[in-house]
Amino acid sequence: MWAFFHKLASPKHFYRITGSWIPWLWAVTLLFMIPGLYLGLWVAPPDYQQGDSFRIMYVHVPAAWMSLFIYVFMAVTGGIGLIWNMKMADIMAASSAPVGASFTFLALVTGAIWGKPMWGTWWVWDARLTSELILLFLYLGYIALHSAIDDPRTAARAAAILAIVGSVNIPIIHYSVEWWNTLHQGPTVTRLDKPAIHPSMLWPLLLMAGAFQVYFFTVLLMRARSELLWRERRARWVRELFGNSAGTTVSNTQSNSDKAVT
């Protein structure tokens, strides 16, 4: 197990191993998402208070969960890169940032679309919404800082420190609905006692959450693989794959890339 992770830390092995994973990850994403959408939009009954508008939950809640998960992932991988000076860890952290920012944006906007018919307003400056908006700014700040510094090692270090400092916002978002009196409803799923939601409404939520989770890792690997090629352009294995002296065209090497490195 550890030997496997150790291998993944090497850009060359990472590139080779993960290349074959991506089609499978897409398949798993669809395996979760199609029944999730079917159950969520068709089978689950309308909510007795919110009518059919509650179906926005099946994209809003997974997006919000992912916005937190990806931030923690980014701070942890950034921290690993900071401590052990590991190139792959920084590539993972940097590649997860745009995905996390887009999920945070999605959580905010779908929340506004849900808030309008239920609360009568698109936006309120309450604790949950404001802390989630700060999360979006943290992601954008991370991306801006990482791209503003030319030296990749300095960029990785500075951005990782920003990510780690910003992670104080994560528990604030999570507990905001309990610590402050807010308009946002409290947790219905992650309660210590029984979840306050009927199984026919819970199943689509779990499936969509699973779909978003696998989807994140899929697009993360796609991003990370291109990123590491560029950073490793001086390494011999990248030269052998994509160098002009190899005499192969880009389209050829792209499809053969996984078999070519052994």
Partner 1 sequence: MNWNQWLNMGGYGAYVWSAYGLTAIVLVWNWLSPLLRRREVMRKLKSWYRQEERLP
Chain residues binding partner 1 by CB under 8 A are 41-42, 46, 51-53, 55-56, 59-60, 63, 98-99, 102-103, 105-106, 109-110, 113-114, 116-117, 215, 219, 222-223, 225-227, 229-230, 233, 238-239, 242-245, 250, 254
Q: Residue 198 corresponds to which tokens in the numbers above?
A: 């009927």
Q: Which amino acid is at 121?
A: T
Is there a contact between 179 and 1 (Cβ–Cβ < 8 Å)? no
For residue 204, which amino acid is it?
Answer: P
Q: How far is the CB of 194 from partner 1 (least distance, A)?
A: 27
Length of the chain: 262
CA distances from 83 to 78, 87, 192, 220 (A): 9, 11, 35, 22
Residue 87's nearest CA partner among 25, 160, 148 is 160
Shortest CB 42 distance to partner 1, Å: 7
- The 10 Å CB-count burial string (b at 16+, else e) for 111-147 is bbebbeeeeeeeeeeebbbbbbebbbebbebbbebbe
Name the minimum Å distance from CB 223 to partner 1. 4
The residue among 67 and 82 lying less far from partner 1, judged by its C-beta, is 67
82/228 with CB nearer partner 1:
228
- Shorter beta-carbon distance to partner 1: residue 186 or 243: 243
Alpha-carbon 13 to chain mean position: 23
| Backbone φ/ψ region at 85: left (φ over 0), alpha (ψ -120 to 50), beta | left
Least distance CB 250 / partner 1 (angstroms):
5
DSSP conformation letters of 25-76: HHHHHHHHHHHHHHIIIIISPPBTTTBGGGGGHHHHHHHHHHHHHHHHHHHH
What's the min distance (Å) between Cβ of 225 and partner 1? Answer: 8
**One-letter amino acid for residue 2 of the chain:** W
Provide, rounded to whole angstroms, the least separation between the CB of residue 230 and partner 1.
5
Give least dist CB 214 to partner 1, A.
12
- Residue with Cβ nearer partner 1 (126 or 227): 227
